[in-house]
Amino acid sequence: MKLHPESEFIRFLEDDLSLPPASVSMAVKRHGGDYRLLPIILWQYGLATFDEITDMFDWLENQ
C-alpha cells in the first residue's frame, strides 16, 4: 500500500534524515496545508542543516 506523499515525506525526514519527531511535528503544525513548505519551516526555526534542506528538496523533486 502506497503512503500519501505527505506521510512518505515525514517518514523520509524522520527515518532517512534522522530529524527528531518533535521538530517534524512542530513544522507540520505550521505548514499551512502544503507539506512542500516543511523544508522552509525547518530551516527558519534552525531545525535542519543546509545539507538536510538540500536532501529534502531533492526528495521532493523526485516524487
pLDDT of 3: 67
Residue 62: exposure state from Cβ atoms within 10 A (0-12, 13-18, ≥19): exposed
pLDDT at position 1 over 60: no
Q: What is the pLDDT of residue 2?
A: 62
> In whole angstroms, what is the distance from residue 40 CA to residue 34 CA?
11
Reported pTM: 0.88
User: pLDDT digit string (tens) for 2-50?
Assistant: 668 899 999 999 999 999 999 999 999 988 888 899 999 999 999 999 9
Tell me how crowded residue 3 is: count the other CB atoms within 10 A of its CB.
10
Cell numbers placing 50 = 543546509
Is it the case that residue 55 has pLDDT exceeding 60?
yes
